[in-house]
């Protein structure tokens, strides 16, 4: 995917936006210390192996090179604060909502819809290899609601694709 023209911010709503990753690895640490995040996003089930700053640095560097890597930001007290992360890429675009108070509010769905619109604008016709851990039923429901089709599974994951030529 071409990286030219990557926007600094992408507006989702008056209270929600994506902001381009700026190299602040430390911003991720509090979110990735939550077992819900590292289990559902990274598949790490052993609490002794929860992500540290070195892990986060490697993850962020990979995601930033693999696609358009953004903070998910929500407005709070009049300013936008990071509450998660997302990578706009055609294969397995990951979303993580770092804080429990923002989960279950439709933010992940709004972000994925924005990812779909951005990928279509970049000329992508299909999202492939989206992995959803079987212990994450909320993500499974969201992907299926948005039209992703299950194309496979393994012991831990469901695999989904989305044909963007049929997506409105």
pLDDT at 10: 97
pLDDT at 4: 54
**pTM of the predicted model, to two decimals?**
0.92
Higher pLDDT, 3 or 124: 124
**pLDDT bracket for residue 2 (50, 70, 90):** very low
Residue 3 has pLDDT above 70, yes or no: no
- Nearest CA to 27 out of 70, 80, 82, 78 is that of 82
CA distance 157 to 133: 4
In the Cβ-directed half-sphere of 22, how many Cα atoms lie within 13 Å?
10
The full DSSP string for 24-40 is -GGGTHHHHTSHHHHHH
- Element (H or E) spanning 78, and its range? none
pLDDT one-digit tens code per residue, 120-144: 999 999 999 999 999 999 999 999 9
pLDDT one-digit tens code per residue, 80-107: 999 999 999 999 999 999 999 999 999 9
**pLDDT bracket for residue 110 (50, 70, 90):** very high
Q: Mean pLDDT over residues 44-70, rounded?
A: 95
- What is the per-residue burial (b if ≥16 Cβ within 10 Å, else e) of 103-138? beeebbbebbebbbebbeebebeebeebbbbeebee
């Amino acid at each position: 995917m071409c990286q030219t023209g990557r926007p600094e911010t992408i507006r989702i709503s008056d209270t929600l936006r994506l902001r381009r990753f700026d190299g602040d690895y430390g911003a991720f640490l509090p979110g990735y210390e939550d077992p819900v995040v590292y289990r559902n996003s990274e598949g790490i089930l052993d609490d002794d192996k929860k992500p540290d700053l070195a892990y986060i640095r490697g993850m962020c560097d990979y995601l930033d090179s693999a696609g358009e890597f953004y903070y998910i930001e929500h407005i709070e007290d009049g300013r936008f604060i990071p509450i998660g992360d997302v990578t706009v890429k055609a294969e397995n675009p990951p979303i993580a909502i770092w804080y429990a108070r923002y989960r279950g509010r439709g933010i992940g769905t709004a972000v994925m819809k924005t990812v779909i619109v951005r990928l279509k604008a970049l000329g992508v016709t299909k999202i492939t290899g989206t992995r959803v851990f079987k212990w994450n039923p909320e993500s499974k429901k969201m992907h299926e609601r948005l039209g992703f089709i299950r194309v496979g599974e393994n012991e831990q994951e469901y695999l989904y694709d989305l044909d963007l030529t049929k997506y409105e």
